[in-house]
Structure 1
Amino acid sequence: MPNSNWNDVGDKIKDAVDSAISTGDFTNLSRSIGDVINDTIDNVKSSVKVSVKTSYSSNPYYKTVHTRPAPDQPQMPELYNKRPGGQAGAIISMALGYSIGIFTLAGLITFTALSAAVSHMFIVPVIIFGVLAATGFTLGINGTKKIRLLNRYRSYVRQINHHLSVPLQQLADRNHKSIAFIAKDLQKMINQHLFYEAHVDTQDNYFLLSDQAYEEYRTARLEYYEKKKIMEKEQEEHKVSAECQKLIDEGQAYVRHIRECNDAIPGEEISRKLDKMEQLVQRIFDEVRIHPEVAPDLQKMMNYYLPTTSKLLNAYRELDKQPIAGENISNTKAEIEQTVDTLNVAFEKLLDSLFADCAWDISSDISVLNTMLAQEGLKEDDFTLNNK
Structure 2
Amino acid sequence: MGATTGAVWGRAEQQDFRSRVRGTLLGAAVGDALGSPVRGLGMEQIRAAHGAEGIGEPAFGHGRRGAVSHLTQLTLFSLDGLIRAQVRRDTGAWHPPTDLHRAYLRWASTQRDWGPDERRKEDGWLAREEWLYARRDPARSCLTGLGDETMGTPEAPKNPDDPGAEAAARSAPFGLLVGWEPELVMQLAVECAAQTHGHPTACLSAGAHAVVVHGLARGESLDTAVQRALQLLAPRPGQQPVAEALQRALGAVRQGLPSPARVEDLAGAGTADGLLSVAVYCALVGEDTRHGLRLSVNHGGDSAVTGALTGALLGALHGETALPPSWLAELEGRPTMLVLADDFAMEMTQGPALHGPAGSSPGWLARYPRGYAALPGGAPVPAL
TM-score, normalisation: structure 2? 0.27
Higher helix share: 1
TM-score, normalisation: structure 1? 0.27
**Structure of higher CA gyration radius:** 1
